[in-house]
Amino acid sequence: MQLKNFYPKLGILGIATLMALAACSDDNSVPLINNPDTAQQNPQPGDSQPGTDSTKTTTPADSGKVVTPADSGKTVTPGDSGKVVQPTDLPAEGPITLPQGIGVLVDDFEDGDGVSKTGDGWYTYDDQDNSGASVITTPINEEKYPIATPVNNGSNYAFKVVYSLDKGDYEFDPYVGWGLQVAPDEANARFGGITYWYKGGAHEVHIEVTDVLDYDVHLAKIPASRTWKQAVVRFKDLVQGGWGEEVTFNAKNIMAISFQAKGNRSKVITDSLFIDNIYLQDTSEVEKDKPDMEINDPVIPKVEFTEAEITVTNPLQAKAAKYLDKGVSFTNWLENANGKFKSFEFGEKDIKILADNGFKSIRLPIDLDLYATNRDAFVKGTDAELKFDDDTLFMVLDSFVEWTGKLNMSLVIDYHEYDNSYNSTSAKDTNYIKMMAEVWKHVAAHYAENTREDVFFELLNEPDMSEGKVTAAQWTKAAQAMIDAIRSVNTKQTLLFGDAKWYSISLLAQRTPFTDDNIIYVIHTYEPFVFTHQGGSWTDYASIHDIPFPYDKAKWSTISGDFGVNKSSKSGVKTAIKNYYKTGNKEAIMVEMLKAKKWAAKNNVPVILNEFGALNLRSTAESRINYLTAMREICDTLQIPWTHWGYTGNFSVIENGKLIEGLDKALGVGK
């Protein structure tokens, strides 16, 4: 039976049927296919040309002749100078098991080639077309297509990739990937999950469907394992990356099964990964959720304090209440990675929309050091003076100063390093600290003669925002350097300071205030995080959904899986959901914020909340209104001015130019 011409036209079930027929046939002429389908590249969010070279297959360089098993029964890995590697010569590890059931074995790699049981060839790709410098290599055959690698894990072959993750000039996290295409088939709707064995680095498994048109694929994140481990992924637990249009997963539209390893922007990572025994589970084989929680009565903490315990007589308290209450941050623009100004995505019309709807303050997150043209040379010590692109920097800042003044809105210039360049390493670099101080000195000098008292300088948003490893002592040293630099040229502007670990309340409550008497202190809170960040692709709560606020027995379940908990969910996520009956209420949030307010009153300094909000991805509109109402009531009670994180987008107060329904009462705003 000749199958080659049939493969591109048949789905997984069709191929499986033909393979079964071939196995029973007297015709032993079924050939191996050494020419895989062309690979679909997998661009990341922010690509300037999504889909560019979408039919290009990336393969490793030919570093040594490889003889396929179809030719000689032997496999030679590149770089081994012709040395034949037999699986039995390798150290034994495993054994792994071969899935048995009514699903479909996609590939067990036992034929040693680069073609799956379904007749689709494996491909690889990297980020180099997007200016990255990542590299992925596999053994290859004479046609330079990827093939399997000998192993001794209970089977003879597995698919191995070796990779280096290097962002190069790519503005997002570096990546490499590999996979195979699948023919969409109505019959594929019966599949409910995928299992495979792996050993090596952390990665994602992507189940790509034709419905997704913007590369925001459905995926599951798999942790690293240095011994062979089985990954079991239910399709119901898949989540999208979060940057594109939300699409309901439909197994009948599967068009590719792929894997991706991702790095980070701060260092180069080299690792490897083996994949073996890939199996699509029939829905009847997928593990069902089981009861693992109790439905408890809500536990509401008692909040007690005296008026004296929250009273701040410092004149800056009145200033904060006047100018920094009912604020909104302009998000997802100038604070982004490589977010140097290109055009006014937000401008005067947006400020007017907010002003017309009763908001009083604009927080402008902007990565100020992106406008230092020789930043890296200055930090390295090769340039003695920091230089700036003033035309761009002050076109942006001056425009917002003008527009907010015109519309009677205050302005916070928020130094917001989204790229996490201030981290646990650079925090020890005196030149880096000096660079940040010089940035602020330059901006402060520009506004030294400005007569407005409602333009504020926020020293640095959430120091080490990605990792949170910078200590309070390190951050204090850097902050003092910035304060000193600003005050050498500008004594008028009020400064905003938040503590390490994402503007931690607990760290602030242990702090001795700075001697500068023109500083307002800042906290952030997104508690309960399991509610506010459910569905957030960048968090551990990406698969979580339908957590209500406040906690409600009538809306709860004994099954954590009903809220999106799955095998890949971290233990902290499961614990947060199980304990939500104690944390999912206004009083629990207030207890934490009261710690900051009592500290402020004790030290007679003002404190504000300039980030809070709830993602609109997996929660109901009713719950979000309940949460925002609670936050406003807490702030009113504790006399804490507030700024909401989000103008538009997934944390939004305005949609299509209008205030979201219900926010007028929830936040005390509106026309």
**Are 412 and 486 part of one and the same domain?**
yes
- Give mean pLDDT, residues 375-399: 97
Last residue of a domain, one of 254, 285, 316: 285
> 355 and 207 in one domain?
no
pLDDT in tens, 635-653: 999 999 999 999 999 999 9
When divided into structural domains, the chain yields a total of 2
Stated as kind and residue range, the H or E segment containing 393 is helix 390-406
Q: What share of the chain is helix, strand, coil (3-state, %, to 5)?
A: 30, 20, 50
State yes or no: pLDDT of 329 exceeds 80: yes
Q: Which of 89-103, 143-157, 478-492 has the highest mean predicted lDDT (pLDDT)?
A: 478-492
For residue 65, pLDDT over 50 is answered with: no
Question: Using one digit for the tens of pLDDT, what is the confidence trace for 475-489?
Answer: 999 999 999 999 999
Does residue 280 belong to any structural domain of this protein?
Answer: yes
pLDDT band with cut points at 50, 70 and 90 for residue 72:
very low
Question: Within a domain: residue 607?
Answer: no
The residue that leads in pLDDT, 184 or 438, is 438
Same structural domain, 237 and 359: no
Domain boundary residue among 285, 309, 343? 285
Domain span at residue 466?
Answer: 324-522
Q: Over 80: is that where the pLDDT of 543 sits?
A: yes
Shared-domain flag, residues 236 and 185: yes
Characterize 431-469 residue by residue with b for buried, 16 or more Cβ atoms within 10 angstroms of its Cβ, and e for exposed. ebbbbbbbbbbbbbebbeeeeeebbbbbbbbbbbbbeee
Cα–Cα distance measured from residue 270 to residue 5, given in angstroms and rounded to the nearest whole number: 39
Residue 348, in any domain of the structure: yes
The arithmetic mean of pLDDT across residues 2-24, rounded, is 34
Tokens, residue 468: 């949170």
Do 419 and 369 share a structural domain?
yes
**pLDDT over 50 (residue 69):** no
pLDDT at 77 over 50: no
**Could you report the per-residue pLDDT of 401-412, keeping only the tens digit for each?**
999 999 999 999
Q: Give the model's pLDDT for residue 337.
A: 65
In a domain, 196, yes or no: yes
CATH classification of the domain holding 337: 3.20.20.80
Whether 155 contacts 320, CB under 8 Å: no
- Looking at this protein, which amino acid is placed at residue 9? K
Confidence at residue 45, expressed as pLDDT on a 0 to 100 scale: 31
Residue 433 shares a structural domain with residue 367: yes
Least confident of 62-71, 88-97, 321-330, 577-586: 62-71
Q: For position 83, what pLDDT does the model report? A: 60
Residue 648 maps to a domain = no
Q: Which of the given ranges, 51-55, 375-379, 416-420, has the highest pLDDT on average?
A: 375-379
The alpha helices in 184-292, defined as continuous H runs, are: none
Cα separation, 478 vs 457, whole angstroms: 15
Looking at the structure, tell me whether residues 268 and 334 fall in a common domain: no
For helices 390-406 and 430-446, the axis angle rounded to 10 degrees is 50
The enclosing domain of 203 has a CATH number of: 2.60.120.430
The DSSP line for 296-311 is: -----------GGGG-
Checking if the pLDDT of 579 tops 80, the result is yes
Tell me: pLDDT of 15 over 90. Answer: no
Residue 245: per-residue pLDDT: 87
495 three-class SS:
strand
User: Are residues 475 and 356 both part of a single domain?
Assistant: yes
pLDDT band at 568 (very low <50, low <70, confident <90, very high): confident
State the average pLDDT over residues 465-471.
93
Phi-psi region of 90 (alpha: psi -120 to 50; beta: other; left: phi over 0): beta
Q: What is the pLDDT of residue 84?
A: 65
E-strand spans in 123-224? 123-126, 135-137, 149-150, 157-165, 175-181, 191-200, 203-209, 218-222
Would residue 405 count as lying in a domain? Answer: yes
Same structural domain for residues 196 and 280? yes
- Out of 7-11, 93-97, 484-488, 661-665, pick the least confident: 7-11
For residue 28, pLDDT over 70 is answered with no
pLDDT above 90 covers a percentage of the chain that reads: 79
Q: Tell me what pLDDT residue 181 has.
A: 94
User: Do 235 and 353 reside in the same domain of the chain?
Assistant: no
Same domain, 272 and 371: no
With bands split at pLDDT 50, 70 and 90, how would you rate the model's confidence at 86?
confident
Residue 309 forms part of a structural domain? no
Mean pLDDT over 519-530 rounds to 98
Q: Mark whether 205 and 275 lie in a shared domain.
A: yes
The confidence band for 9, taking pLDDT boundaries of 50, 70 and 90, is: very low
Give the residue numbers annotated as catalytic, written as ranges: 462, 611
What is the average pLDDT across 194-209? 97
The domain boundary, picked from 499, 522, 545, lies at: 522
Across the range 146-160, mean pLDDT stands at 95
pLDDT at 189 over 80: yes
Q: Is residue 398 part of a domain?
A: yes
Q: Residue 17: is its pLDDT beyond 50?
A: no
Quote the pLDDT of residue 75. 40
